[in-house]
């Protein structure tokens, strides 16, 4: 074998190793999920039972929905610390509309909305919270960290004010008021699969399509990659930023309603620290905090890693204190 052949073989070997390394790097989150599932399947009894898997996916769905919205924000180079508080606020809005209705002091009347209208109003509140953060970032050039930190306190305070710090219980509605059916969002099933999982699937597919197949998706990545270059190329940067924060609020509102529906009650403290879990899921799934890189599929897998790890430790009887140390 001559020198040229040896060099060619060595070069081919290096390229093959490089491709393998890149493949392992791309699949690192999936590999981590696989290892975690294998470990708990041996260490925790009934971990792979159908009943436990359904419960686990229901838990993961909430984190994944939040993380999907967070992914778009992080891809643009921002951050949204308010999502946990928006979860609490929107849960209280939905609970208040069902439990107390909307009281209008001017006419001294109370309006009770049908469930679809309750959902629309709650989603609108989440979107408005995101719009407020986006407005601060765009109009006053406030750093996303500061803008969303302010929104965190505003939303949590508003949630407490809605009920004076109390819980809205028994959110089943009343037939005569036409506002029944709310528990279906968090506890209902269709063909044996929880409704919350269908919501995650629909939202995940829509977000993935938006990110990969639409001009808006390309603009989101271009803003995160190089905001100045995106602006010079004609991208409406401020509109893109406004959209991602509004979408994050929209996702938080969905998560808030699902949690309130599962509990059949809403509490103003719901969602505390959820923002950290959403950020962790997105970053674990390959989203760069510097912006410009991230996928919806990777984020969902990242949420599964966190969810499986948490539920597995609970099934093993690990102390909640150690869960905080290991999980975060």
What is the rounded CA–CA span in Å between residue 16 and residue 20?
Answer: 6
Q: Single out the residue of 244, 266, 245 nearest to residue 255, CA to CA.
A: 266
Query: Is residue 22 classed exposed, middle or buried when 0-12, 13-18 and 19+ CB atoms within 10 A define those classes?
Result: exposed
Segment 195-221 mean pLDDT: 96
Asked if residue 216 has pLDDT above 80, the reply is yes
Q: What is the pLDDT of residue 9?
A: 52
Segment 114-124 mean pLDDT: 96
Phi, psi of 37 (to 5 degrees): -65, -45
Question: Any long-range contacts for 22-31 (C-beta under 8 Å, 24+ apart)?
Answer: 26/286, 28/286, 29/284, 29/285, 29/286, 29/298, 29/301, 29/302, 29/305, 30/301
Asked if residue 102 has pLDDT above 70, the reply is yes
CATH architecture of 29-327: Orthogonal Bundle (1.10)
DSSP string, 253-269: HHHHHHHHHHHTSB-TT
Asked if residue 328 has pLDDT above 80, the reply is no
Instruction: Find all residues with CB under 8 Å of 223, minimum gap 6, and list them.
Output: 76, 77, 230, 235, 237, 240, 241, 291
Q: What is the pLDDT of residue 27?
A: 74
62 with 258: CB under 8 angstroms? yes
Domain residue limits, the chain: 29-327
Q: What is the pLDDT of residue 202?
A: 97
Segment 259-265 mean pLDDT: 95
Q: What is the pLDDT of residue 5?
A: 54
Q: What is the pLDDT of residue 24?
A: 61
């Amino acid at each position: 074998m001559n020198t040229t052949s040896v060099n060619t073989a060595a070069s081919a070997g290096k390229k093959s190793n490089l491709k393998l390394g890149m493949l392992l790097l791309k699949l690192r989150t999936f590999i981590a999920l696989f290892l975690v599932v294998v470990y708990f399947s041996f260490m925790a009894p009934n971990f792979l039972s159908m009943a436990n898997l359904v419960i686990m996916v229901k838990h993961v769905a909430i984190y994944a929905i939040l993380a999907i919205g967070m992914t778009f924000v992080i891809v643009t180079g921002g951050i949204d610390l308010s999502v946990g508080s928006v979860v609490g606020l929107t849960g209280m809005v939905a609970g208040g509309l069902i439990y107390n209705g909307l009281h209008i002091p001017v006419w001294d009347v109370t309006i009770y909305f049908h469930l679809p209208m309750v959902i629309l109003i709650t989603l609108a509140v989440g979107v408005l919270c995101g719009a407020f953060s986006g407005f601060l970032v765009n109009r006053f050039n406030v750093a996303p960290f500061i803008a969303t930190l302010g929104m965190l306190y505003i939303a949590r305070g508003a949630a407490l004010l809605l009920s004076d710090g109390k819980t809205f219980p028994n959110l089943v509605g009343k037939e005569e008021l036409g506002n029944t059916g709310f528990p279906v969002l968090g506890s209902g099933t269709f063909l044996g699969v929880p409704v919350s999982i269908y919501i995650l699937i629909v939202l995940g597919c829509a977000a993935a399509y938006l990110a990969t197949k639409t001009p808006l998706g390309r603009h989101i990545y271009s803003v995160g990659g190089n905001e100045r270059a995106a602006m010079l190329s004609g991208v409406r940067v401020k509109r893109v930023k406004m959209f991602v924060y509004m979408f994050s609020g929209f996702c938080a509102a969905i998560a808030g309603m699902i949690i309130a529906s599962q509990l059949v009650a809403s509490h103003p403290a719901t969602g505390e620290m959820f923002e950290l879990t959403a950020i962790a899921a997105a970053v674990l799934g390959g989203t760069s905090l510097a912006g410009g890189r991230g996928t919806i599929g990777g984020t969902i897998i990242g949420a599964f890693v966190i969810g499986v790890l948490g539920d597995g430790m609970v099934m093993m009887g690990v102390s909640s204190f150690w869960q905080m140390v290991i999980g975060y």
